[in-house]
Amino acid sequence: MEPHADVTRQIIGCAIRVANALGVGFLEKVYENALVHELGRNDLGVAQQVPIRVVYDGVVVGNTGRILVVEGTIVVELKAVRQMDPVHEAQLLNYLRRAACASACCSTSERLASAFAG
C-alpha cells in the first residue's frame, strides 16, 4: 500500500465534498480556499500558495506555480477545467519533482485524478 494512501484518500474526499457543494463555474482560487478550509476541518495540515523554485545549472531562474502542500508531503494542484489535459499532468509532475514531496493529487471541478510518484 502507498505510504500516503490514507492521507491522499482524505484529501480526495475533501475535494469531492468541496466540488459537490460548490459545483462548477468558479475560479480555481475559490475552490482552493474552500479546500484549505475543508482540509483544516479534517485536521490535515496544509500550506497554501507555496511557491515552486526553479533551478537551472545551480541558479534560481524563477518561481512558478503556487501549490498546496498537505501534511508536508503531498502536493495538491487544483484546476478549474472540464477535463485534465496532458499539459496539466506534466505541470503537476514538474511541481512534484521541484517540491520534493512524496506524492501528488490533482483535482478538477468535474473529475478527480491523482498521480503518485515515489
- Chunked in runs of 10, what are the mean pLDDT values of the chain (118 residues)? 82 93 90 96 93 86 82 82 77 70 44 33
Q: What is the predicted pLDDT for the residue at 88?
A: 73
Beta carbons within 8 Å of 2's beta carbon, 6+ residues apart:
8, 103, 116
Structural domain of 78: 5-116
> Nearest 5°: phi and psi at 19?
-60, -40
Total count of domains within the chain:
1
CB atoms within 10 A of CB 72: 10
> Nearest 5°: phi and psi at 89?
-65, -40
pLDDT in tens, 33-58: 999 999 999 999 999 988 888 888 99
Determine contact, residues 2/8, Cβ cutoff 8 Å. yes
Determine contact, residues 7/74, Cβ cutoff 8 Å. yes
> Nearest 5°: phi and psi at 110?
-105, -25
